[in-house]
């Protein structure tokens, strides 16, 4: 009984220990419940309520990167982080955006970039502009335009990166649109000149470039003048060859005006106005004559007039004392009338020969021509008298001696004149078998065949060229200068230069030449002096003088046939234009 009554007492001795364990267990359970309840509250975070896209700016240039930021907020306005954001762009051709919000611009335009998170989104409108222009330039600072011409200007435009761009708008302006007009595309049209200077400006985005347009009016000018003066003996005339050149595309008539001509000097162009071809050259012969001019150096001006344009050039002269010359006399029988065309032909012929001889002597020397060029004298006898009146022993020379003697009687001529070559053209024909054209000493006689032939009429044969009769004059004055027929030409079977002027080459004049010995002799002749011309004589066509003679020429009635070749087309041409008719008839 005692054991049972003792047991409770014994168990009671362990009660405090058990109560502590229980209390610890209960405490831990309570802590666990608190943790469990707390975890249940963190499982559902606040959702995204709004999205806002922000950027450093809303305008960028092509190629410029831009970083965008998306700001997320909950309903309470609290900033949310760590959420997934999706970036998109509405036009990928203009710009791209990656998932960090970095925008890369491609082309100019406007794009909308959107940021989306948890179903909420917002966007930013971004303007992409072109890279600004840094410079505008034109190919040159100046350009020349002819009136009526057009040209296209092409500017070079570079952006700030130095890249040439072509998609910009260029504005064009002219400082004087009445002289140079510029279109919206940069095309220039020259309207008026007289050496006008007009500034053309190209503008683009505040940058500019300019070019000065010099507008030249088309005109004709005297292309060459010598540094040395034209040498002209007193009481003589020289033939000056002027070369008129088209500049700035001119074409049309050019009038020559001679101003400030000294007393005693006469200047006459053989053609006026002169037609100048576009971008080409026209040549005109001008006679310069010194009748009573004072000795020494002087000058006159040559002015070219083309429309409203005038250009003056100075021609220097040196008037010298020089007595040797060629003097032409046109004898008109009592029953004949003066033929002005013949006077013109004679003057043209001697001037042509003056230049031709100068060419043969390499452009340095030629003979002088008396002034006036052709003296017209009426005789007391009819044309038939010269061929029918006996003189001397040989009827063959009646005509020649009668013409020569009458010519010398009416002038100061003589056979042994040391200073003058006398050329007597007489409008009368020799009889069959009589000599017509020949030279003796310083006297030359040329018959009616030459009077007509040198002026384009019927000469000894039908259809002969004027050149044949100019050559005939050149041949006979060559004898008066002391030139013989070429060696061997008068001896059968001996080699001979048949094409020389001093043999049958005169028929094909000007396609003929002086022999080496001829050149040597005349260059030492007192009749040949140094003559400086405006330009060196150059070869060019003269239709009426250089016309070919057809084969099978027909002899004039009663004239014997000559065994000479027909005239060939001229190969070495010299300048020729109709000469002015300037003569005085002496009775």
339 vs 542: which has the higher pLDDT: 339
The answer to whether residue 553 sits within a structural domain is no
In this predicted structure, the answer to whether residue 116 has a pLDDT above a threshold of 80 is: yes
3-class secondary-structure state, position 188 = strand
Q: Residue holding tokens 């997320």? A: 72
Residue 241 has pLDDT above 60, yes or no: yes
Query: DSSP 3-state assignment of 577?
Result: coil
Contact 398, 354 (CB under 8 A): no
Task: State residue 166's pLDDT score.
Answer: 87
Please say which residue of 181, 196, 216 terminates a domain. Answer: 216
- Does residue 18 surpass a pLDDT of 70? no
Q: Which residues contact 143 (CB under 8 A, 6 or more apart)?
A: 151, 211, 212, 213, 214
Upstream peptide bond of 411 is cis (omega within 30 degrees of 0): no
- Domain enclosing residue 311, as ranges: 220-320
- Residue 226 confidence (pLDDT): 54
Task: Reply yes or no on whether the pLDDT at 568 is more than 90.
Answer: no
Q: How far is CA 36 from the centre of its chain?
A: 105
Q: How far apart are CA 185 and CA 194, in angstroms?
A: 26
Q: Averaged over 119-132, what is the pLDDT?
A: 92
% of the chain surpassing 70 pLDDT: 81
Q: In this predicted structure, what is the pLDDT of residue 131?
A: 87
Q: Is the pLDDT of residue 210 over 70?
A: yes
**Per-residue pLDDT at 358:** 84
Q: Is residue 519's pLDDT more than 90?
A: yes
Query: Is the confidence at residue 373, as pLDDT, over 70?
Result: yes
More confident residue, 401 or 365: 401
Helix 340-360 × helix 466-480 angle, to 10°: 60
* Residue 482 belongs to domain with CATH number: 3.40.390
Same domain, yes or no: 257 and 109: no
- Are 270 and 286 in contact by the 8 Å Cβ rule? The answer is yes
For residues 382 and 329, membership in a common domain is answered with yes
DSSP, res 461: B
Q: Would you say residue 149 has pLDDT above 80?
A: yes
As for how many domains the chain has, the answer is 4
If asked whether residues 256 and 388 sit together in one domain, one would say no
- Cα–Cα separations (whole angstroms), residue 416 to 89, 350, 413, 439, 442: 115, 22, 9, 12, 6
pLDDT reading at 146 higher than 50: yes
- Residue 337 binned pLDDT confidence (cut-offs 50, 70, 90): very high
Both tokens assigned to 34: 């608190």
- C-beta neighbour count of 81 within 10 angstroms: 6
Q: What percent of the chain has pLDDT over 90?
A: 45
* Chain mean pLDDT for the chain: 82
Whether 370 and 515 map to the same domain: the answer is: yes
CA atoms within 13 A on the CB side of 524: 7
Instruction: Based on the fold, state whether residues 267 and 349 are members of the same structural domain.
Output: no
Last residue of a domain, one of 284, 305, 320: 320
pLDDT at res. 546: 38
Name the band, by pLDDT with cuts 50, 70 and 90, for residue 472.
very high
Which token pair is 386? 């010269």
Inside any domain, residue 229? yes
Residues 110 and 156 in one domain: no
DSSP strand pairing (102-105 vs 66-67):
antiparallel
Q: Is residue 368 part of a domain?
A: yes
Whether residue 3 lies inside any domain: the answer is no
Q: Per the domain annotation, does 579 fall within a domain?
A: no
What is the rounded average pLDDT of the residues 409-418?
93
Instruction: Assess whether 415 and 456 both reside in one domain.
Output: yes
DSSP string, 1-26: -HHHHHHHHHHHTTHHHHHHHHHHHH
pLDDT value at residue 581: 41
Judge if 338 and 418 occupy the same domain: yes
Q: Does the reported pTM lie above 0.85?
A: no
pLDDT score of 38:
53
Q: Please, what is the angle between helix 516-523 and helix 340-360, to 10°?
A: 100
Local structure of 385: helix, strand or coil: helix
Q: How confident is the model at residue 193, as a pLDDT? A: 64
Contact 172, 136 (CB under 8 A): no
- Provide the token pair at 63: 């190629």
CATH number of the structural domain spanning residue 111: 2.60.40.1080
Rounded distance, CA 159 to CA 29, Å? 77
Per-residue pLDDT, 151: 92
Q: Can you tell me the mean pLDDT for 474-479?
A: 97
Q: What is the CA radius of gyration of the chain?
A: 55
Domain co-membership, 67 together with 148: no
pLDDT value of position 12: 46
Which of the pair, 402 or 222, is modelled with greater confidence?
Answer: 402
Residue 262 belongs to a domain with what CATH number? 2.60.40.10
- The whole-number pLDDT of residue 492 equals 82
Q: Which residues contact 321 (CB under 8 A, 6 or more apart)?
A: 233, 234, 295
- Domain finish residue from 282, 302, 320: 320
Report the DSSP pairing between strands 309-320 and 230-233.
Answer: parallel
Residue 315's nearest CA partner among 533, 529, 530 is 533
Closest listed residue to residue 139, CA positions, set 216, 209, 214? 209
Q: How far apart are alpha carbons 461 and 452 in whole angstroms?
A: 11
Any alpha helices (H) in 231-288, and if so which ranges? Answer: none
pLDDT value of residue 539: 34
Q: What is the mean pLDDT of residues 486-505?
A: 88
Which of 259, 265, 263 minimizes the C-alpha distance to 233? 265
Give yes or no: residues 159 and 225 share one domain.
no
Query: Is residue 164 domain-resident?
Result: yes
405: alpha, beta or left? (left if phi > 0; alpha if psi -120 to 50): alpha
CA distance 257 to 311: 10
Residue 25 lies in a domain: no
- Does residue 364 sit in the same domain as residue 269? no
> If DSSP codes are grouped into helix, strand and coil, which group holds residue 39?
helix
CA geometry: angle 553, 556, 560, nearest 5 deg = 85
pLDDT digits (tens, 9 = 90+) for 43-100: 578 999 999 999 999 999 988 899 999 999 999 999 999 899 999 999 999 999 999 9
pLDDT at residue 303 in the model: 92
> Are 384 and 483 in the same domain?
yes
Residue 584 predicted with pLDDT over 80: no
| Mean pLDDT confidence for 8-29 | 58
What tokens does 50 get?
Answer: 């709004």
Strand runs (DSSP E) across 25-132, as ranges? 50-54, 59-61, 66-67, 69-73, 79-80, 86-89, 95-97, 102-105, 109-117, 120-129
- What's the token pair of residue 561? 């046939």
Q: Does residue 77 fall inside a structural domain? A: yes
As a whole number of angstroms, the longest Cα–Cα distance in the chain is: 222
């Amino acid at each position: 009984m005692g054991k049972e009554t003792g047991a409770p007492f014994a168990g009671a001795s362990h009660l405090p220990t058990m109560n502590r364990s229980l209390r610890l267990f209960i405490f831990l359970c309570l802590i666990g419940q608190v943790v469990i309840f707390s975890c249940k509250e963190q499982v559902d975070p606040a959702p995204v309520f709004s999205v806002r896209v922000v950027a450093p700016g809303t305008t960028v240039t092509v190629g410029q990167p831009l970083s965008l930021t998306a700001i997320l907020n909950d309903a309470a306005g609290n900033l949310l982080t760590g959420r997934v954001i999706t970036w998109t762009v509405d036009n990928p051709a203009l710009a791209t955006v990656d998932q960090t919000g970095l925008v890369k611009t491609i082309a100019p335009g406007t794009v909308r970039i959107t940021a989306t998170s948890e179903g909420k989104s917002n966007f930013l409108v971004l303007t992409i502009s072109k890279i600004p222009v840094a410079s505008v330039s034109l190919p040159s600072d100046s350009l020349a335009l002819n009136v009526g011409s057009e040209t296209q200007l092409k500017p070079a435009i570079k952006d700030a990166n130095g890249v040439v761009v072509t998609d910009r708008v260029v504005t064009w302006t002219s400082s004087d649109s009445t002289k140079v007009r510029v279109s919206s595309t940069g095309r220039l049209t020259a309207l008026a000149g007289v050496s006008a200077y007009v500034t053309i400006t190209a503008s683009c985005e505040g940058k500019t470039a300019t070019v000065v347009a010099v507008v030249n009016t088309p005109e004709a000018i005297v292309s060459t003048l010598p540094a040395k003066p034209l040498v002209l003996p007193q009481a003589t005339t020289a033939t000056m060859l002027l070369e008129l050149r088209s500049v700035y595309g001119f074409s049309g008539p050019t009038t020559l005006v001679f101003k400030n001509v000294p007393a005693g000097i006469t200047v006459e162009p053989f053609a006026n106005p002169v037609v100048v071809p576009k971008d080409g050259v026209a040549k005109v012969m001008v006679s310069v004559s010194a009748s009573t001019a004072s000795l020494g150096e002087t000058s006159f001006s040559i002015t070219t007039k083309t429309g409203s344009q005038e250009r003056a050039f100075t021609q220097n002269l040196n008037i010298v004392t020089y007595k040797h010359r060629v003097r032409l006399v046109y004898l008109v029988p009592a029953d004949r009338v003066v033929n002005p065309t013949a006077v013109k032909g004679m003057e043209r012929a001697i001037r042509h020969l003056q230049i031709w001889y100068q060419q043969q002597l390499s452009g340095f020397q030629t003979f002088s021509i008396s002034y006036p060029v052709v003296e017209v004298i009426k005789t007391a006898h009819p044309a038939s008298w010269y061929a029918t009146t006996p003189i001397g022993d040989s009827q063959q020379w009646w005509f020649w001696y009668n013409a020569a003697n009458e010519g010398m009687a009416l002038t100061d001529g003589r056979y042994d004149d040391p200073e003058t070559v006398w050329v007597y053209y007489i409008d009368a024909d020799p009889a069959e078998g009589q000599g017509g054209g020949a030279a003796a000493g310083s006297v030359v006689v040329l018959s009616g065949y030459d009077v007509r032939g040198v002026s384009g009429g019927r000469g000894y044969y039908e259809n002969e060229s004027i050149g044949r009769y100019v050559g005939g004059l050149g041949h006979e004055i060559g004898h008066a200068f002391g030139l013989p027929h070429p060696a061997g030409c008068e001896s059968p079977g001996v080699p001979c230069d048949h094409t020389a002027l001093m043999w049958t080459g005169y028929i094909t004049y000007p396609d003929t030449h002086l022999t080496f010995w001829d050149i040597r002799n005349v260059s030492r002749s007192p009749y040949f002096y140094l003559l400086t011309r405006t330009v060196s004589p150059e070869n060019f066509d003269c239709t009426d003088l250089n016309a070919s003679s057809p084969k099978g020429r027909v002899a004039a009635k009663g004239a014997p046939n000559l065994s000479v070749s027909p005239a060939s087309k001229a190969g070495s041409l010299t300048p020729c234009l109709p000469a002015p008719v300037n003569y005085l008839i002496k009775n």
